[in-house]
């Protein structure tokens, strides 16, 4: 049976005052989309600049990731904070553990970048 990786994740803003929970198959690409607001300039994450990863969990099956997302979204803010701090006590931004951060805008013309 082919295995997949799906992720449930929590993002915050620079001041760590806003929380956003999501699910994705490709965490790196999704972080880039949140960072550049490429999914929607009027989206929640674009509006509140939520692109700092503070918690994530890998799942083999998409339904498990979706179920976890629903579970987290049903939690109070205090329970979400406790869950984050159980894995990431200092709320360290984990983006650099996943990818080069900050990312290069994939929409940028490579001929305009300085070498």
Per DSSP, 105 falls in state: P
- Tell me how far CA of residue 59 lies from CA of 26, 56, 65, in angstroms: 12, 10, 6
Global confidence as pTM = 0.84
Assess if residue 111 is contained within a domain: no
φ, ψ at 19 (rounded to 5°): -120, 140
**Domain of residue 59, CATH code:** 3.40.1440.10
Assess if residue 42 is contained within a domain: yes
Would you write out the chain's pLDDT as a tens digit for each of its 115 residues? 456 799 999 999 999 999 999 999 999 989 988 888 766 778 888 888 898 999 999 999 999 999 999 999 999 999 999 999 999 999 999 998 887 777 776 666 554 444 4
Host H or E run for residue 45: helix 44-48
Q: Where are the beta strands (DSSP E) in the chain?
A: 6-12, 19-24, 52-59
Among residues 64, 51, 54, which one has the least CA distance to residue 25? 64
Query: Which residues 6+ apart lie within 8 Å of 33 measured at CB?
Result: 39
Assess if residue 20 is contained within a domain: yes
Q: Which domain holds residue 58?
A: 6-105
């Amino acid at each position: 049976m082919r295995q997949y990786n799906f992720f449930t994740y929590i993002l915050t803003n620079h001041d760590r005052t806003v929380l956003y929970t999501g699910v994705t198959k490709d965490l790196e690409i999704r972080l880039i989309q949140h960072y550049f607001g490429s999914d929607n300039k009027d989206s929640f994450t674009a509006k509140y600049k939520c692109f700092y990863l503070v918690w994530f969990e890998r799942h083999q099956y998409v339904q498990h990731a979706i179920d976890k997302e629903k579970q987290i979204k049903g939690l109070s803010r205090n329970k979400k904070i406790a869950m984050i701090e159980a894995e990431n006590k200092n709320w360290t931004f984990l983006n650099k553990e996943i990818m080069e951060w900050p990312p290069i805008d994939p929409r940028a013309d490579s001929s305009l970048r300085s070498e």
